[in-house]
Amino acid sequence: MSNIFPKSANRLPLQIVIFLTILAGVATAAVTYYATPKYLRVGYQPVQPVPFDHSLHAGNLGIDCRYCHASVEKSATSSVPSAQTCMNCHSIIKPNSPLLEPVRQSVATGQPVPWVKIHQNPDYVYFNHSVHVNRGVSCVECHGKVNEMQTVSQAQSHSMGFCLDCHRNPAIRIRDPKDVYNLNSKTLAEQGRLEEAHKMIKDWKVMPPQSCSGCHR
C-alpha cells in the first residue's frame, strides 16, 4: 500500500489549506476594495483643494443649497458650483485670500476646481435628485446636516438597504415642501403630522420603486 501514492501526496492536505487561505484572503481583499469603496463608508471626508466651510455658508450665513447646487430641482445631479459662482461673492469678500487661489485660477484658465467628490453612487445605480426634493425629501435625509459641518463628510451609508428603508416607508421622511431646503426642519412625522404625510404621498402619487429595475438601469 505504501507504494500506491507518492511521498509528495503527504504534503497535499497542507497545500490545500494554504491554497484555501490565500483564496479567502484574495476574495476578502477584492470585496473590501471593489464592493465597499471608501466613498460609501460613513465618515469618508477627503481633503478638498479649497477649504469650503458649509457650517459658515449654509449655516451661519444661511445661503440656500440651491444657490451653489443650482440644478438639484431640475435634474438627476445636484451640480457642483462653478468658480464664477464662488467669485460672485469673493470678488468682494476676501478676494485675495490665498485659500481661494484654486478658484481664481479656475476663473482665469477655464479649468474646473478639482473638487473631490464625496457623495457618489456606483455606475450601476441610478439616482435622481429632482424626483426626491420635489416630493418633500430634504437634502439632510441623505447628506446629513451639512449646515453644521465645517468639512463635509459622508453621513449615511447610501447602501441599497438605506435606500430601500426609505422607499418602503417614505412617510417618515417627507417634509413640507417649503422645508425641504431648511436643514434644521423636521419631517411631518417628527412634527406629529404623519396622517398629512400619508395624504401627501397619495395626492402626489409617491410610489418609490422597490424592484431592481427602479434603481439599476
Q: Assess contact for 210 and 216: CB atoms under 8 A.
A: no
Tell whether 104 and 123 lie within a shared domain: no
Q: Assess contact for 167 and 142: CB atoms under 8 A.
A: no
Tell whether 48 and 124 lie within a shared domain: yes
Domain extent, residue 175, equals 42-62+70-79+116-215
Does residue 16 lie within any of the structural domains?
Answer: no
- Give strand pairing partners of 174: 137
Does residue 201 lie within any of the structural domains?
Answer: yes
Which pLDDT belongs to residue 197? 97
Tell whether 131 and 192 lie within a shared domain: yes
Does residue 109 lie within any of the structural domains?
Answer: yes
pTM exceeds 0.75: yes
Does residue 8 lie within any of the structural domains?
Answer: no
Does residue 194 lie within any of the structural domains?
Answer: yes
Tell whether 199 and 148 lie within a shared domain: yes
Cell numbers 438639484 correspond to 72
| Packing angle, helices 83-90 and 101-109, rounded to 10 | 120
Tell whether 187 and 142 lie within a shared domain: yes
Does residue 20 lie within any of the structural domains?
Answer: no
* Residue 100 φ then ψ, to 5°: -95, 10
Helix ranges (H only) for 31-158 are: 54, 65-68, 83-90, 101-109, 129-133, 139-143
Does residue 158 lie within any of the structural domains?
Answer: yes
Tell whether 90 and 137 lie within a shared domain: no
Tell whether 52 and 90 lie within a shared domain: no
Domain count, the chain: 2
State which residues of the chain have pLDDT below 70.
Answer: 1-3, 5, 9, 32-40
Q: Which of 148, 144, 182 is nearest to 53 (CA)?
A: 148
Tell whether 54 and 154 lie within a shared domain: yes
Which pLDDT belongs to residue 14? 80
Tell whether 93 and 120 lie within a shared domain: no
Tell whether 92 and 121 lie within a shared domain: no
Does residue 32 lie within any of the structural domains?
Answer: no
List Cα–Cα distances, 120 to 9, 97, 153, 199, in angstroms. 51, 30, 12, 32
Q: d(Cα 63, Cα 114) in Å, to the nearest integer?
A: 23
Tell whether 110 and 201 lie within a shared domain: no
Which pLDDT belongs to residue 39? 58
Tell whether 110 and 190 lie within a shared domain: no
